[in-house]
A = this chain, B = another copy of it.
Amino acid sequence: MDVTLCEVGPRDGLQNEPGTLAPAVRAELVERLAGAGCQRIEAVSFVSPKRVPQMAGAEEVLTALNPTAGVTYAGLVLNRRGYERLAGTPCQEVHYAFCVSETFNQRNQGRTVEQSLEEAGGVVAAAHRDGRRVSVTLATSFGCPFEGRADPGRVLSLAEQVVAAGADEVVFADTIGVGVPHQVRRLLRDGAHLGVPLGVHLHNTRNTGYVNAFAALENDVAVLDASVGGIGGCPFAPNATGNIATEDLLNLLVEEGIDVGVDIDCVMRVAEWLETVLGRRLPGQLVRAGRFPGR
């Protein structure tokens, strides 16, 4: 089994923090994660600083960053304008995202799913022209607060359309943490024929995040997103746990004999450092409980 861990703490994690970290601190976080062996890091987001102040200054983060050889630094873009900003930076990989849910997409991105699909084509064309790989995340692939549980047929049809538009990878995201294993199984099995690597982006809001990661491993997932410390809960639900924590996921992977090349002890130290930076206890549990047996 060949699984890639994609660390999304600096982007999906910090984006949902109440406070804003300076670009230099965000660069340090990315460097520490690269130092722990993370080979793929969603480092920045090229979105409007007015809409998401936590992600302001993507260019400054990348300039402050001392890049590690062999690490892929990815940036999130939501439209061609975002991609043009990315194109002026050393980001090698483009993460483009939109929502499966029509309502959620219109509220979140101010456009229809049809328009987001069209935009995907434009972003992919520009990125490919520049030699960049594009991973497309289908947000709310498991459910959304407005439309309920997602129809897997619709999710898979959208996956097919983004692959037809040139996407190099598709990631099914459980944006609000409602997914369960049978959904993971269905999307990965029925999406296998698309011929691109498939990933999952999981939140642990209802204690199903790690279960879904395990189900994904059982169904040959290629990419697992995770966030150091488990940061990235919804800002409107301060009690809700966010992304699955990188170190807790790694513990599961390591103990199940799956090596993704990341040093779990180093990631635990990054999580501890991040707790001091953010000034609060993070949802990851391995840092509290310690590895077993003690090392």
Contacts and interface: CB of A to CB of B under 8 A. Distances in A.
Nearest to A142: B292
B293 A149 contact: yes
Contact of A251 (B208, B214, B241, B244): B208
Contacts of A284: 207
A289 B237 contact: yes
Interface in A268-295: 281, 284-286, 288-289, 292-293
A206 B248 contact: yes
Q: How many copies does the complex hold?
A: 2
B210 A252 contact: no
Interface stretch (A43-51, A88-96, A176-184): A176-184
- Interface size bucket, A side? 35 or more
A274 to B, nearest CB: 17
A245 interface: yes
A235 to B, nearest CB: 14
A289 B208 contact: no
Contacts of A285: 204-207, 240-241
